[in-house]
């Protein structure tokens, strides 16, 4: 039987979509910025206790490119990224760590 390992932060493929979690205790707001061919989709993340931000969405899937937008202006890759196809300064990519 294959056990599913998930990190408490980063992007995790789960039943019902992709769960994004970021620890940003000094942030006032965090948005998920999905990069698609000709557009960027911004999805607000919900602030949780302890400085965590979280979002479960069906808008992302394996292969989706994303960054986080902090306080409406600073775009950063996921510090817990499992794959950076365009190097460390580029967008992060959602992967399924169970395959």
Domain layout of the chain by residue ranges: 10-93
HSE at residue 56, side-chain half, CA atoms within 13 A, is 5
- Identify which of 50, 81, 87 has the alpha carbon closest to the alpha carbon of residue 68: 81
**62 DSSP 8-state letter:** T
Q: How far, in Å, are 16, 21, 53, 74, 81 from residue 4 at the CA level?
A: 15, 17, 22, 33, 17
Per-residue pLDDT tens over the stretch 36-78:
888 889 999 999 999 999 999 999 999 999 999 999 999 999 9
Per-residue pLDDT tens over the stretch 74-90:
999 999 998 999 988 89
- Identify which of 9, 13, 36 has the alpha carbon closest to the alpha carbon of residue 94: 13
Q: 10-93 architecture in CATH?
A: Sandwich (2.60)
């Amino acid at each position: 039987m294959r056990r599913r390992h998930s990190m408490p932060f980063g992007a995790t493929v789960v039943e019902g979509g992709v769960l994004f979690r970021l620890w940003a205790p000094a942030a006032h707001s965090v948005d998920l910025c999905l990069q698609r061919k000709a557009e960027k989709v911004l999805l607000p993340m919900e602030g949780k206790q302890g400085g965590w931000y979280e979002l479960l969405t069906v808008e992302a899937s394996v292969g989706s490119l994303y960054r986080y937008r902090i306080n409406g202006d600073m775009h950063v890759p996921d510090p817990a990224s499992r794959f950076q196809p365009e190097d460390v300064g580029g967008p992060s990519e959602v992967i399924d760590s169970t395959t």
